[in-house]
Amino acid sequence: MIGYVTLGTNDMEKAAKFYDALAKEMGVGRMMDFDQFVAWGEMGGAPGIATTTVSMPAIFAIPMATSSTSFA
């Protein structure tokens, strides 16, 4: 199960404004907010969107931990 998808950006200010507006339309807000990483959605809710500062934009899918998932 995917918890959120991270989209890389080289302009965090522009990306944050774009995803703030998108998240508002989806009825959610920021759930994590750091200088180089922002995530939108609801903790424990549907998969969210995140953006992080990178020199070359990239996409990552982060799995959600479930009761049957174990991380060693």
Return d(Cα 29, Cα 49) in angstroms, integer.
10
pTM confidence score: 0.70
pLDDT of 58 reads: 54
Domains of the chain: 2-63 (3.10.180.10)
Mean pLDDT of successive 10-residue segments in the chain (72 residues)? Answer: 82 94 94 92 86 68 52 44
Return d(Cα 66, Cα 26) in angstroms, integer.
24
